[in-house]
Amino acid sequence: METATIPQPTFYLFKCEQSAPSGMPKPACVNEQTQDLYNYLTQGLMQKGIMGPVQAIRTACLGRCQFGPVMLVEPGHYMYCHLSKEKIDKIIDNHILGKEPVTEYLIPEQFWAEPISLGK
């Protein structure tokens, strides 16, 4: 019996959903002003008919709190920072559909250098 293959998604969008109580010393990606960004992202993907090939994933802290709200796009290790609804729209249109990362929204290189080597 042959098993049908299931294709991989083209993109994974890891949206940080870390929140913190008010008064915490570091910023959080989710607060009163940004709490609806994940839903906005998924609605945008659904409206464009690309939910499925593009997987939006809620994730915990991605370690770049000072640049939040942040979203990691894979493949490619693209970290988008200081997200807003307008930025999400442009990321979907230009990066996801147009295959051109939105460089002005990417985290500064000194805070997002090459991956750490797992060398032996």
For 2-19, the pLDDT digits (tens) are 778 888 899 999 999 988
Alpha-carbon gap, residue 111 to 43, rounded angstroms = 30
SS3 (DSSP) at 66: helix
For 39-98, the pLDDT digits (tens) are 999 999 999 999 999 999 999 999 998 899 999 999 999 999 999 999 999 999 999 999
Residue 74 pLDDT: 97
Specify the residue for token string 């985290």: 107
Specify the residue for token string 């942040």: 70
Residue 98 pLDDT: 97
User: What is this structure's pTM?
Assistant: 0.88
Residue 1 pLDDT: 66
Residue 27 pLDDT: 73
